[in-house]
Homo-oligomer: A and B are copies of this chain.
Amino acid sequence: MEKTVLHIERAASVLKLLGDKTRLTMAGLLFHRECCVCEFVEVFNMSQPSISQHLRKLRDAGVVRERRKGQWVFYSLNQESEAYPLIETLITHVPDQKEKLDVLERKRMICD
């Protein structure tokens, strides 16, 4: 696992960003694969605008990328971010979120 040193302000802001259960879980999901907004809406017990706002914060920080595919928008971890190595490390200290993806796949979302 690569290691990079970030400015203290940048590191603090990334930690603050992921210091939210919803966004940290999102990162854990994205660590496995790209996810569609509609999948996040399915996973979290939260309104669609709230999901959208969390994703926007992650995107504004350069932590995730978005890709539109028809009416759907997919998000993925931005591996080019200088914060990626830190984020990768963080995720290994958090329970694997793969189970939630398995549940999703059984639900056969239409976005794929």
Interface residues of A (CB under 8 A from B): 3-9, 11-21, 24-25, 28, 85-86, 89-90, 92-95
Contact = CB atoms under 8 A, between A and B. Distances in A.
B16 A19 contact: yes
A19 B13 contact: yes
Contact of A6 (B7, B13, B94): B94
Nearest to A22: B12
A7 B93 contact: no
Given A8-B24, A18-B12, A18-B15, A86 B95 contact: no
26 contacts: A3-B92, A3-B93, A5-B93, A5-B95, A6-B93, A8-B21, A8-B25, A8-B94, A9-B21, A11-B24, A11-B90, A12-B18, A12-B19, A12-B20, A12-B21, A13-B19, A15-B15, A16-B16, A16-B19, A17-B19, A19-B19, A85-B93, A86-B90, A86-B93, A89-B93, A90-B90
Given A7-B95, A15-B90, A85-B93, 10 more contacts: A3-B93, A5-B94, A8-B28, A8-B94, A8-B95, A11-B90, A12-B20, A15-B24, A16-B16, A90-B90
